[in-house]
Amino acid sequence: METWETPNWEQLAPGGWWRVVHHPAVYAMIRPIEPLLPNNSGYNYSNMVKLCAESGRDCFTISQIHIVGEVLAMTAESSWDEEESCYWLRLRDEGNFGQQWLRQDGESLGLGVFLEASCFYPETPPALPPGIPGHDVREAHRKALSEVRCVRSAFNQLRDGEATGEAWREVPRLSIADAMLGQCAESRPAEAQRVVGGPAIAHLLREGYVAVHDALNEDLASEFVVQMAKLDNGWNLHAAPQATPGQRGDRLLWIDENIAVGRYGSEAVAKAIGLLKGLASELNPDLTAHHWSKNAAGDAAHAVLTVSPKAQLACYPGDGARYICHQDNRFRPSHGTRLNSRELTAILYGNPADWDAHRDGGALKLYPQTEDFESPPLPDHPSVCFSPKAGTLVIFFSSLWHEVLPAYRPRRALTMWILRPEEEESWMPTVF
């Protein structure tokens, strides 16, 4: 069994979903990005930066912090960067907003160790030859790892409020298999088939969207409304990272079935997430055939829909908050690729049955056949609107322009992006 302490440097780890098994996993990237320290994680980002600085490692740049339990997606792909003389590993974060690139050299540790932690290595890293990483790189990894240990123990003390002076705790051995979660969507065929089987899929492929109004049965739908509100009212949601007043006014929580039940006791939310996840496998055969017919010469046969491990629970607080017209993904003709791997956006609404879109606002306004528009369609462009009532499921191609109209009553929704990872833009070392 391979452990993070004795990774096999010659071998890239298998692609798939990985869980961060130690905290904090800190890694640095060549261009620092906005730190994404999950709310209520118990860590204070500025304290961590201070700790790094105090540890005498001036060149430490924390760009991203991940904590235990968080899930990341790692592709099996690496890319040689001529200019930087290094390899990059491609990964995605839990919400799959976009991709990130992890530098694989003495500066940012490679896979396996990445699951533990990685950081900037204070010396100039040895250049990697194209091909198998050599001895120097392993040595750099070894040194950097020992540094990580010191930093981590300080972090642990900080978190636990301990001032014991104990510099170092034994790190348990971890198996890479422990952290690997699996590659494909979990399948819940029966429910998903009931909801989107037959005519619904046909409508989705023909029109680019479909709405199913009884995706949850009546009892489940009303329980879903109650639990979504309870979760939201418990201050578990936080402003979206890209929140901009007047443009995007929702607050969010990324949540999976285990968190829904284990942390919040929300069975109905867990069931809803399960249903959304099951859609990927249900839609897969028809979507694959659809891409085949559009692109006879292409690789569409490899299309494998998958889902992110977590769904996005969003609430627009009801003060007129909205989400201006946008696309969740976009084809970039100049690159010949898509911006991210989102193929379909699937949303289950969790608002009371008496929601009145004229009075309460908050409709989802979707503009069919706009995937190739470079800028938002005009408001009077042909569109369809959906009232965000309990149990309504809307699925649409993520590249269609859409918006959330101002909501005058708290408006809650659970969104799952259904992904086609092979469609993602293949090389872009910047992030998000």
Ligand X SMILES: O=C(O)CCC(=O)C(=O)O
Binding stretches for Fe ion (CB under 5 A): 328
- 257 contacts 268 by C-beta, under 8 angstroms: no
Paired residues of 387 in beta bridges: none
The string of DSSP codes covering 317-361 is -SSSEEEEEE-SS-EETTTTEESSSEEEEEEEE-B-TT--HHHHB
Binding mask 131-170 for ligand X (x = CB under 6 A): ----------------------------------------
Residue among 250 and 328 whose Cβ is closer to Fe ion: 328
Q: What is the CA radius of gyration of the chain?
A: 23
Instruction: Quote the least distance from Cβ 197 to ligand X, whole Å.
Output: 23
Considering CB under 6 A, how many residues would be counted as binding ligand X? 9
Element (H or E) spanning 94, and its range? none
- 402 binding ligand X? (CB under 6 A): yes
Binding mask 341-380 for ligand X (x = CB under 6 A): ------x----------------x----------------
Residue 26 binding partner per list ligand X, Fe ion, none, with a CB distance cut-off of 5 to 8 Å that depends on partner kind: none
Residue 404 binding partner per list ligand X, Fe ion, none, with a CB distance cut-off of 5 to 8 Å that depends on partner kind: ligand X
Closest to 408 measured CA to CA, from 223, 249, 235, 244: 249
Residue among 81 and 328 whose Cβ is closer to Fe ion: 328
- 414 binding ligand X? (CB under 6 A): no
- Which residue in 273, 287, 413, 416 binds ligand X (CB under 6 A)? 413
Instruction: Quote the least distance from Cβ 326 to Fe ion, whole Å.
Output: 6
Residue facing Fe ion at closest CB distance? 328
Paired residues of 395 in beta bridges: 210, 346
- 22 contacts 152 by C-beta, under 8 angstroms: yes
Tokens 């046969």 sit at which residue? Answer: 301
- 321 binding ligand X? (CB under 6 A): no
Residue facing ligand X at closest CB distance? 364
Residue 413 binding partner per list ligand X, Fe ion, none, with a CB distance cut-off of 5 to 8 Å that depends on partner kind: ligand X
- Which residue in 9, 254, 323, 367 binds ligand X (CB under 6 A)? 323
Q: Which residues contact 123 (CB under 8 A, 6 or more apart)?
A: 106, 140
Question: Between the CA of residue 306 and those of 19, 83, 145, 276, 281, what are the distances in Å?
Answer: 17, 33, 33, 11, 7
Instruction: Quote the least distance from Cβ 415 to Fe ion, whole Å.
Output: 8
- 272 binding ligand X? (CB under 6 A): no
Instruction: Quote the least distance from Cβ 228 to Fe ion, whole Å.
Output: 18
**CA pair distance 171, 175, nearest whole angstrom:** 12
Residue among 328 and 424 whose Cβ is closer to Fe ion: 328
- 415 binding ligand X? (CB under 6 A): yes
Instruction: Quote the least distance from Cβ 403 to Fe ion, whole Å.
Output: 8
The two structure tokens encoding residue 298: 């292409």
As a residue count, the chain comes to 432
Q: Which residues contact 347 (CB under 8 A, 6 or more apart)?
A: 364, 393, 394, 395, 413, 414, 415, 416
Residue 23 binding partner per list ligand X, Fe ion, none, with a CB distance cut-off of 5 to 8 Å that depends on partner kind: none
**CA pair distance 350, 269, nearest whole angstrom:** 9
**CA pair distance 39, 46, nearest whole angstrom:** 14
Residue 74 binding partner per list ligand X, Fe ion, none, with a CB distance cut-off of 5 to 8 Å that depends on partner kind: none
Question: Which amino acid is present at 348?
Answer: L
Instruction: Quote the least distance from Cβ 328 to ligand X, whole Å.
Output: 5
Instruction: Quote the least distance from Cβ 385 to ligand X, whole Å.
Output: 10
Residue among 257 and 328 whose Cβ is closer to Fe ion: 328
Point out which residues bind ligand X (CB under 6 A): 314, 323, 328, 347, 364, 402, 404, 413, 415
